Amino acid sequence: MVSIQNLDDSRSNSRRDLFGIDLASIPSRMGIRKRILILDDEPSITFSLASCLQPEGMDVIACNDSVAAMRAMAGLRVDAIIADIRLSVINPYEAIQFIQHVRSLHFDLPMIMMSGTDEMKSEVMHAGATCFLQKPLDVDRLVALLKRLDLRDGSLQYAN
């Protein structure tokens, strides 16, 4: 079992999980497990989602701010992103900026955005999100969605 990698400490350059395993060495796209980046400002949400996705055969990178997420993506292959829309009370458009940043580097990377309201749904979809899910999340629906996506080679295709 691979543990959650939490990249919130901006002072750390480590790419190892809680047990010291080098996550960059774990095969992702061509291997059995897919690597999912979860971005939410609430650690309990990232932990809960990771706890649900790992038994489904997915490795998880948990980040609680967009800077940590961008840093993780610079050093690790990511097969899909699940991110909250409301990342900061100071900057309500941080999620939009994050989507734009990701899209500038990875046009086809699946990005599943989530929020407790549908207030910014149209904005995130216009910015390039793949889909939108409303909180509280139906984890079975999320897992089914991730399994339906063909995440191979970073291209978004729906599997039959």
* Contact by Cβ (8 Å): 98, 87: yes
**H or E stretch including 85?**
none
Mapped onto helix, strand or coil, the DSSP state of residue 133 is: strand
* Full pLDDT tens readout for the chain, 160 residues: 334 555 544 434 444 444 444 545 444 444 457 899 999 999 999 999 999 999 998 999 999 999 999 999 998 999 999 999 999 878 889 999 999 999 999 999 999 999 999 889 999 999 999 999 999 999 999 998 888 876 543 333 333 3
**Strand 157-158 to 149-150 pairing:** antiparallel
Q: In sequence order, what E strands does the chain have?
A: 5-6, 34-39, 58-63, 80-84, 111-115, 131-134, 149-150, 157-158
Domains defined for the chain, CATH in brackets? 5-158 (3.40.50.2300)
